Amino acid sequence: MVPIKLKNPSISSAIRLITRKMGLCNVISILLLMLLQITNAASNAEEYQTYIIHMDHSHKPAYFLTHEAWHRSTLKSLSSTSPADRDDSEMLLYSYSHVMHGFSARLTPSQLSKLESSSAHVATYPESFGKMFTTHSPKFLGLRQNLGLWPAASYGQDVIIGIIDSGIWPESESFGDKGMSEVPERWKGACENGTAFTPSLCNKKLIGARSFSKGLEAAGISISKQYDYDSPRDFLGHGTHTSSTAAGNHVLSASHFGYAKGTARGVAPRAHVAMYKVLWASDSEKSAASDVLAGMDQAISDGVDIMSLSIGFDFLPYYNDIIAIGALSAIEKGIVVVCAAGNDGWAENSTYNGAPWITTVGAGTLDRSFTATLTLDNGLTVEGESYFPESVYISDKPLYYGKDNASKAICYYGALDPKEVAGKVVLCDNTMKTDVDGQKEEVRSAGAYAGIFMTDMSLLDPQDFVFPALIVPISTGAVIREYATQANTTKVKTLTFVHTNLGIKPAPQVAYFSSRGPDPITPGILKPDILAPGVDVLAAVAPNRLFIEVNNYNLASDYQLMSGTSMAAPHVAGVAALLKAVHREWSPAAIRSAIMTTAYSLDNTKTTIKDQWGGLPATPLEFGAGHINPNRAMNPGLIYDMDVQDYIEFLCGLGYTAKQMSAVIRRSQWSCRQQPTELNYPSFIAIFNGTDGSPKAKNFSRVVTNVGDGTSIYKAFLEVPSGMKIAVEPSSLTFTGKNQEQDFVLRVEIDNNAPKVTYGYLKWIDQQNHIVSSPVVVINY
């Protein structure tokens, strides 16, 4: 044991004296107790956390020229409350001027307490973290080169779409500026310097690119230096994909990985794009609220016309929902805000971003499939789903089916004998004991040449097809199984891959992952608003990102298929850009109304759009007003318009406190009517429970504005199921000029024995064949 030598002789003498008086063991005990107290004191030292602070800008002293200067001064005044005495430059992350008046900063509890006692303080939001909601589609939407909305809107010329996402790959052909107009003079944005990114990479197509990561870094969440870039450059491909979907400028008859007949042209190919990177390659794969808010704030300041977000945070009241707060500020400045509804489709009440001023988008399928074709030795030919990306030709291979062993028949984990299946095509039965992904891995690891799998609900992604695999319906698989069990020798004559089929029925369907209503925050507003393509959408991605590993080769591509409501939202953002180009005077609510009231709810078999999860007819709780129909949205006839005051009236009816109201609407004074008013929403939903009296009925008041030309007479046509009654007063609306308004009252009533969800439609139809359609939904708990 090495003795400790104390430099201070008086301390040494004191310790020797105490030791003689108390004994060595007691002294050691006292020293250990002192050490424990010191350790506790250190652990109890105040820790810094990130908070978003909403301030009342009317309290800003006039001698501060900017809000940021005021924010920095405020933080500096707090430094004396902290032993560390941090300066404001270390504390401040962002200063916000548009989404709210406030800032985000790292604060101790005592600093926060002092700040919250200020009369200028409005609200505090602890840092939170959101998640990302992770093309033939323009043709499926009905967009045509020389007819309808595309040429009328000049393909979105001069409209600016701001994408809040994971960055962008500027070299992609989708962001080439051939044929683009000059950058609008009103544009205030910029392209920043950063890792592998310079302002010279921007052009007349990509006119802005910024990144925001201070919140994530302040939370101690590391950003990967191996996989990401400290710049607007895309690490994931997601932001590049959403930007390309909304406004890609490159026409591609894509054969990448054999996805023939695809097209990667965006919905608004002449619109300008600005990227605000808030999603990063981190150990959490999440985005910080302070970063998202900063991206939205900058987009508003830069002058975007459309804002598209494919991010969601926890379900919170609007006064705690940073996307809702930021979006309302954008709406007030005439910016259309489009958000993904989320990918929690297995649950009711799962819609994200459902504030009534946001256009909330669910995901639907396209009428396109990627397939492989199997021909057996007996002449039977079947087709099934396959995303295997290589154009291989398999011929004259034995067909293996474990008919004498139940585990082998279902390709259960560890059941297949490599000696039996090597070099063969293996057939796997449908089972509840494992899923197709597990069966596929078992067949691959056993050394089979290819696999045939049976299911009526394939949930595999394109990148799951790492070896030749074919997915067939259970009924088709039964026919193959019959051949495999009855024939003396079974053989696959041919098995070919990389086929693309168009016109698949039924389509569209609600994607199985698309989040469903009723909205968890305000169930009295029907969400999602609209359905748009979100399954197997082909668009540009970061070309250096591994897509799939096949035969020990890593494959990447400039274009890939992706699915999610995050793919659906940019479709609607693109359509909104086209409508903005045609109708510059329309408000965000008017654009959403046009999109909703012209949507369709019947698929290409002329029956109600079905739910991919189970194949049964869906309801407006899944598809909202229906599937987007861009050409009809250009000329809707009537619109349900709203402005910020309408949203304030709506918030007044929620029973918020003055401070909560101020947090949402970013002002200290507002007015509300004595009686709560309904939002002038383009859809209707009534919710009843067992305590409601009989009959169960509700009245709705609405105002419609004529945006058509000349005199029009609209008559109400009602589609009403059994058990429901709908009445409209008046039943006819006469307009003598453009922008004239008319109001009406709709009454809905249901029987006591009505099912849980019942819905019909109100359709206003005039002599010029305008059909203004609104779903009328009743939920009966």
**Phi/psi at 36 (5° precision):** -60, -40
Confidence of residue 251 (pLDDT cuts 50, 70, 90): low
What proportion of the chain, given as a percentage, has pLDDT over 70?
Answer: 88
pLDDT of 86 above 90: no
Which residues are part of the catalytic machinery?
165, 238, 566
The mean pLDDT value for 295-313 works out to: 96
Q: Kindly report, residue by residue over 601-618, the tens digit of the pLDDT.
A: 999 999 999 999 889 999
Q: How many CA atoms lie within 13 A of 285 on its CB side?
A: 6
Please state, as a whole number, how many other Cβ atoms lie within 10 Å of the Cβ of residue 46. 15
Q: Which of 82, 12, 5 has the alpha carbon at shortest distance from 47?
A: 82
Q: Which of 719, 780, 775 has the alpha carbon at shortest distance from 751?
A: 780
Question: Looking at residue 7, what is its pLDDT?
Answer: 39
pLDDT of 245 above 90: no
* Cα angle, residue 436 at apex, residues 564 and 434 outer, rounded to 5°: 120
Which amino acid does the sequence have at 767? Q
The pTM score is: 0.89
Helix (H) or strand (E) holding 302: helix 289-302
Question: Looking at residue 82, what is its pLDDT?
Answer: 47
The full DSSP string for 458-510 is ----GGG--S-EEEE-HHHHHHHHHHHHHSSS-EEEEEEEEEEEES-SS-SEE
Residues 338 and 186: their CA atoms lie apart, in Å, by 22
Question: Looking at residue 285, what is its pLDDT?
Answer: 63
How far does Cα 69 stand from its chain's mean position? 35
Q: How many CA atoms lie within 13 A of 461 on its CB side?
A: 12
Question: Which residues face 94 on adjacent strands?
Answer: 104
Question: Which residues face 372 on adjacent strands?
Answer: 384
Q: Kindly report, residue by residue over 264-292, the tens digit of the pLDDT.
A: 578 999 999 999 999 988 755 678 999 99
Which amino acid does the sequence have at 548? I
**According to the 3-state scheme, what is the secondary structure of 593-657?**
HHHHHCCECECCCCCECEECCCCCECCHHHHCCCECCHHHHCCCCEECCCCHHHHHHHHHCCCCC
Q: Kindly report, residue by residue over 508-540, the tens digit of the pLDDT.
A: 999 999 999 999 999 999 999 999 999 998 877
**Phi/psi at 661 (5° precision):** -60, -45
Q: Write the burial class of residue 339 (CB in 10 Å: 0-12 exposed, 13-18 middle, 19+ buried).
A: buried
Question: Looking at residue 80, what is its pLDDT?
Answer: 62
| Residue 781 near residue 719, CB atoms below 8 Å | no
